[in-house]
């Protein structure tokens, strides 16, 4: 009997060891975009234990390497220092990030069939974050990878261009298939104070790490909320977050929700909410005293007085082995009326958008006017110059012109052709000046040809003598 018992213990030890290794296998891609998001992630090294593949994107890859702690295992780093583009506004970055497939290619090397989901954490007030988030959502969708994006909105005190980038990013996300975006206001994040499961203080953007850890710990979380998003055609969500709440202190789950409502992460109308997804983490010792069905009933009763929900989905809780009574929960609220928020953005960035449209950077419906569209015009101008040169060459053959005379004739009309076409896009008033510029080169060119032929004739007479 003793030998049997020892053999059983060995097998149990092996099983526990295998179970402990499972989280180390890559299950999800974790994409952090922008300095704010990357530095927030790096504050908590525990995320590397969740089996995620960290992908870090910022203007300069050199800066990212400077921020990384020694030995931090990143999967992929993308910078734009070699692209020669201005990364301040989203429309300058969008074309470059759309053409870049390095992130998808790097994931394919990690057996993409096992990576069915991704989390995108982005500060969307800068050009990199606002352009990369909707673009990557589309790229992941094309590879059948579900994504959940956590978008941090700019602070009220940030300048107008930050709000312009953020608003454009949201507009692009709303027009992108597969977008599921969790909105969080930067001011609310920085003002947050709470406790974790150990009773230690959570302050400011440490909360974002806490949220990321909780979502990463549940393998099916991104898949489930993405499915709900597609089913009800709802793309924008915002969270209510409960962290380290002692059940003995609060007395009920309803009291925890009341406390969470005092710390919202977005200003919105609760009564317009129609969809709810709940992610829970709690001690396994509370499985019997607080079963999933009882939690669902408590949440339903609490929301019944505040809004009429079309659907409530409470995922199977994540059970921990700690000997506490503390509960973590994230409630993803979707379907709320976002018109007021969008109108506030639109009024704030109206002048900047109008200026970008007038300068030919974007269209009214947030489409980027790329530089590629201007290339055919340059080719046409070149062809016209060649045709103009051919026309000017025919009469000159009678007068024995040299190549220098031809080059003078080509340069001047080229300037006039360029000036008559570019103002059609930038400033139509300049077209009126084009005929004057076209006549001036002819007056200058004739004396030059005369002088050149006189010198040539004099040289022939001298040589004849």
- What confidence tens digit (pLDDT) does each residue in 278-327 have? 999 999 999 998 999 999 999 999 999 899 999 999 999 999 998 899 99
Instruction: Decide: 79 and 62 in contact? Cβ < 8 Å.
Output: yes
Tell me which of 240-244, 375-379, 382-386, 422-426 is least confident.
422-426
Please tell me whether residues 291 and 164 are part of one structural domain: yes
User: Is 180 a domain residue?
Assistant: yes
Beta bridge partners of 238: 333
Please tell me whether residues 164 and 296 are part of one structural domain: yes
Q: In the prediction, which pLDDT does 70 show?
A: 85
Answer with the residue of higher pLDDT: 61 or 378: 61
Tell me which of 4-18, 303-317, 351-365 is least confident.
4-18
- Is the pLDDT at 401 greater than 80, yes or no? no
Beta bridge partners of 379: none
Q: In the prediction, which pLDDT does 82 show?
A: 81
Q: Global pTM? A: 0.75
Instruction: Decide: 95 and 370 in contact? Cβ < 8 Å.
Output: yes
Phi (first) and psi of residue 18, to 5 degrees: -65, -40
Residue with tokens 């004057």: 436
- Can you tell me the distance from the alpha carbon of 117 to that of 26, in angstroms, rounded to the nearest whole number? 11
Phi (first) and psi of residue 400, to 5 degrees: 55, 60
Which of 348, 372, 335 lies closest to 165 in space, CA to CA?
348
pLDDT tens figures, 18-50? 455 444 556 789 999 999 999 999 987 555 556
Please tell me whether residues 224 and 320 are part of one structural domain: yes
* Residue at a domain's end among 285, 315, 349: 349
Q: In this structure, are strands 146-153 and 181-185 parallel, antiparallel, or unpaired?
A: parallel
- Is the pLDDT at 174 greater than 90, yes or no? yes
pLDDT > 90 fraction of the chain, expressed in percent and rounded: 63
Please tell me whether residues 233 and 177 are part of one structural domain: yes
- Is the pLDDT at 400 greater than 60, yes or no? no
Q: In the prediction, which pLDDT does 44 show?
A: 72
Q: In the prediction, which pLDDT does 373 show?
A: 44
User: Is 16 a domain residue?
Assistant: no
Distance spanning both ends of the chain, measured CA to CA:
130
Please tell me whether residues 86 and 210 are part of one structural domain: yes
- Is the pLDDT at 462 greater than 80, yes or no? no
- Is the pLDDT at 426 greater than 80, yes or no? no
- Can you tell me the distance from the alpha carbon of 188 to that of 308, in angstroms, rounded to the nearest whole number? 26
CATH number of the CATH domain containing 98: 3.40.50.1440
Please tell me whether residues 330 and 216 are part of one structural domain: yes
What is the average pLDDT score of the chain? 79
Q: In the prediction, which pLDDT does 226 show?
A: 96
Three-class SS string for the chain?
CHHHHHHHHHHHHHHHHHHHHHHHCCCEEEEEECHHHHHHHHCCHHHHHHCEEEEEECCCHHHHHHHCCCCCCCCEEECCCCCCCCCCCHHHHHHHHHHCCHHHHHHHCCCHHHCCEEEEEEECCCHHHHHHHHHHHHHHHHCCCEEEEEEEECCCCCCHHHHHHHHHHHHHHHCCCCCCEEEEEHHHHHCCEEECCCCCEEECCHHHHHHHHHHHHCCCHHHHHHHHHHHHCCCEEEEEEEEEEEHHHHCCHHHHHHHHHCCCCCCCCHHHCCEEEEEEEEEHHHCCCCCHHHHHHHHHHHHHCCCCCCEEEECCCEEECCCCCEEEEEEEEECCCCHHHHHHHHHHHHHHHHHHHHCCCECCCCCECCHHHHHHHHHHHHHHHHHHHHHHHHHHCCCCCCHHHHHHHHHHHHHHHHHHHHHHCCCHHHHHHHHHHHHHHHHHHHHHHHHHHHHHHHHHHHHHC
User: Is 279 a domain residue?
Assistant: yes
pLDDT tens figures, 108-151? 887 656 788 999 999 999 999 999 999 999 999 999 999 999 99
Range of the domain at 396: 371-464
* Residue at a domain's end among 315, 349, 383: 349
Whole-number Cα distances in Å, 444 to 385, 440, 441, 453: 18, 7, 5, 15
Residue with tokens 């022939």: 460
Tell me which of 78-92, 263-277, 421-435 is least confident.
421-435
> pLDDT band at 452, cuts 50/70/90?
very low
Answer with the residue of higher pLDDT: 418 or 303: 303
Please tell me whether residues 345 and 379 are part of one structural domain: no
User: Is 359 a domain residue?
Assistant: no
Please tell me whether residues 403 and 300 are part of one structural domain: no
> pLDDT band at 460, cuts 50/70/90?
very low
- Is the pLDDT at 239 greater than 90, yes or no? yes
- Can you tell me the distance from the alpha carbon of 376 to that of 240, in angstroms, rounded to the nearest whole number? 52
User: Is 457 a domain residue?
Assistant: yes
């Amino acid at each position: 009997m003793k030998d049997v018992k020892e053999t059983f213990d060995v097998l149990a030890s092996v099983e526990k060891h295998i179970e402990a290794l499972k989280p180390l296998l890559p299950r999800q891609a974790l994409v952090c975009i922008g300095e704010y998001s990357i530095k927030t992630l790096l504050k908590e090294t525990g995320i590397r234990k969740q089996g995620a593949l960290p992908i870090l994107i910022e203007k300069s890859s050199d800066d990212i390497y400077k921020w990384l702690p020694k030995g931090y295992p990143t999967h992929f780093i993308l910078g734009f220092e070699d692209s020669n583009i201005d990364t301040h506004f989203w429309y300058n970055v969008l074309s470059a990030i759309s053409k870049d497939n390095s992130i998808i290619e790097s994931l394919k090397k990690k057996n993409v069939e096992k990576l069915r989901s991704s989390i995108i954490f982005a500060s969307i007030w800068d050009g990199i974050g606002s352009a990369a988030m909707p673009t990557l959502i589309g790229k992941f969708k094309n590879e059948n990878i579900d994504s959940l994006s956590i978008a941090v909105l700019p602070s009220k005190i940030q300048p107008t261009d930050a709000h312009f980038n953020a608003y454009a990013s949201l507009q692009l996300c709303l027009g992108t298939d597969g977008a599921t975006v969790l909105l969080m206001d930067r001011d609310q994040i920085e003002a947050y104070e709470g406790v974790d499961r150990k009773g230690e203080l959570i302050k400011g953007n440490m909360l974002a790490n806490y949220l990321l850890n909780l979502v990463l710990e549940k393998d099916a979380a991104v898949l489930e909320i993405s499915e709900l998003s597609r089913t009800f055609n709802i793309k924008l969500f915002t969270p209510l977050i409960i962290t380290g709440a002692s059940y003995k202190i609060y007395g009920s789950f309803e009291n925890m929700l009341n406390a969470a409502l005092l710390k919202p992460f977005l200003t919105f109308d609760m009564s317009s909410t129609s969809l709810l997804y709940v992610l829970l983490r709690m001690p396994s010792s509370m499985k019997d005293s607080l079963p999933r069905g009882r939690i669902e009933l408590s949440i339903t009763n609490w929301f019944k007085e505040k809004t009429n929900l079309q659907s409530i989905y409470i995922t199977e809780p994540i059970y921990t082995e700690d000997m506490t009574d503390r509960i973590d929960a994230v409630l993803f609220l979707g379907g709320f009326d976002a018109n007021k928020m969008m109108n506030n953005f639109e009024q704030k960035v109206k002048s900047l958008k109008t200026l970008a449209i007038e300068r030919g950077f974007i269209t009214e419906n947030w489409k980027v006017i790329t530089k590629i569209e201007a290339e055919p015009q340059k080719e046409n101008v070149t062809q016209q110059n060649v045709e103009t040169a051919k026309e000017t060459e025919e009469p000159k053959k009678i007068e024995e012109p040299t190549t220098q005379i031809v080059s003078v004739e080509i340069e001047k009309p080229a300037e006039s052709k360029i000036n008559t076409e570019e103002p059609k896009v930038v400033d139509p008033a300049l077209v009126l000046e084009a005929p004057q510029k076209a006549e001036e080169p002819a007056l200058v060119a004739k004396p030059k040809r005369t002088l050149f032929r006189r010198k040539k004739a004099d040289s022939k007479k001298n040589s004849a003598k």
